Structure 1
């Protein structure tokens, strides 16, 4: 799906003053990263490392893994398409609602697709052979799945692709990373664009058994990760402990925002992250999105194109309290117009 994602402000003539459509941390990149990239600008005069080998080694050390179990990618989207290509024509199950690129990538490489609603995922589930995509915490719902450790261990015939792109936006939600040491049927996807606010650089990585990484490397194009993205990755992991999100404040602001929306008769889905689904009491998501952009310079994610959702669903990410109040006041005016 080339269009229909969040953060599509470039498509509108009016300046956007509050972007609730993207799940990227609104506070910007870690302190010092911009200057670091400027200082490292001369790396653009040379080709980057073919597969960002030095960054793979650094991330491996951070996660206590050998570099042979880490693959650096041009964002999580490249990770998804690379896996779909490497396991082309596989029987594949996708948990829904979900990020559309799982389905799009698998269709591109002729997978036989099945879909399973997130409420039906549990530790006792018996899964078929092939791939199984699970986003944990899930996009767009923010749902966290219980029992995934047991699910992976109990189904060695299934290769689980666990997308942990938003794990940094959770509190006390365990990663499945430790399973890589004992299980060869799990692939962990991580994003460096969301929590560190560098989506324009495109940077992510895959962690899996060495045999799985070797399979993916057969299809990996050279130089897919540019030199500045590699430099950003080095900076982030060199300053990892001082670049963490202020989650307590973020979640406090989210609770205030969702409470105000509920007072306006929105139905709010439970979420373990800073973003959440909201079902509108009146109107449709496409119309509300257009109204907010045109009249208020506010951008939301129309979630109606997620498989399993309706045209009354929107996804919002928590911003600063000041901007959160902007959307509350704008939605009040929308509801008045609709009544």
Structure 2
């Protein structure tokens, strides 16, 4: 799915006043990151490390793991496609609604696919073997699974592919990266771009048992992580203790934002992240998206292309109070015409 993601404002020939479609941290990149990365510009005159070895070492040391447990990637999307390729023609289940790249990557590599609704997963109705892709916290709903280890321990023949791209945006759960040291049926994908607001750099990593990492590494293209992304990764890990999202304030702001939307023609689905899913009670997501773009230069995420969701679903990220009010006022206008 090359089109249909959030943050697709570049497709529209107009400046945006606010982008509610992306779930990247709106506060911008960490202080000092831009200057540091630009100071490393001369390194682009040489090839980057073949497998981002120095950053691999730094990430492993951060978690007190062996380097064999880590694979640095060109964002979570490369991680997803590497995993799908490594298990070509396998049986895979995807917990839905979910990021479309899981399905696209599995179809590209001839997986036998099935789909498991979030509620079915929570009830324990899991496949006995194969692969299972789950995003926790979930995109687009913001829902969380708090007891994943129970499932990992019970379904030993099932390989859990856990996407933690939004783990920094919740207080309801913590990372399960530590489980990769106890179980060989857990793969954790992490993104380094959403919480640090540098999605254009493309940077992420996989944590898993060494045998799995070796399997993924055997398929990885050389130099897939460019030198500036690599340097950004070094900066982020070296300053990680000083780079903390104001998550409590973000979640508090979200509650106020949702409360202000209560009188609008939308049904808000509660979640545990700064973004949330909303279901229109009049009109479609595509119609609302176009209306907001043309009349107010605001962008929301049409969530109708998430498997399991209807054309009435949108995903909205919480931004600043000023920007949130722009959307509240625009939806008041939408309410009058639908």
Give the TM-score of the pair, scaled to structure 1.
0.98
What is the aligned partner in structure 1 of residue 297 from structure 2? 297
Report SS of the residue matched to 2:122.
coil
CA contact (8 A) 2:144 2:172 kept: no
Distance 2:6 2:125 in 1: 32
* Residues matched between the structures, number: 338
Distance 2:166 2:263 in 1: 28
Give the TM-score of the pair, scaled to structure 2.
0.98
What is the aligned partner in structure 2 of residue 197 from structure 1? 197
Residues 155-180 of structure 1: per-residue CA shift (max 9 Å, x gap)? 11011100000000011412211111
Distance 1:301 1:179 in 2: 33
Report SS of the residue matched to 2:88.
coil
Distance 1:146 1:10 in 2: 36
Report SS of the residue matched to 2:133.
strand
Report SS of the residue matched to 1:200.
helix
Q: Please say if 1:270 is aligned against 2:278.
A: no
What is the aligned partner in structure 1 of residue 206 from structure 2? 206
Q: Please say if 1:100 is aligned against 2:100.
A: yes
CA contact (8 A) 2:93 2:113 kept: yes
Tell me by how many angstroms 1:266 deviates. Answer: 1.9
Report SS of the residue matched to 1:262.
coil
CA contact (8 A) 1:123 1:151 kept: no
What is the aligned partner in structure 1 of residue 86 from structure 2? 86
What is the aligned partner in structure 2 of residue 49 from structure 1? 49
Report SS of the residue matched to 2:162.
strand
Q: CA RMSD in A?
A: 1.0
Residues 28-60 of structure 1: per-residue CA shift (max 9 Å, x gap)? 000000000111111101000001010011011
Q: Please say if 1:11 is aligned against 2:28.
A: no
User: What are the ranges of 5 or more consecutive residues in structure 2 without an aligned counterpart?
Assistant: none
Distance 2:146 2:230 in 1: 34
In the superposition, relative to structure 1, how do residues 112 and 336 fare at CA in structure 2: closer, same or farther (>3 Å)?
same
Runs of 4+ residues over 3 Å off in structure 1:
123-126
Report SS of the residue matched to 1:121.
helix
What is the aligned partner in structure 2 of residue 30 from structure 1? 30
Report SS of the residue matched to 2:304.
helix
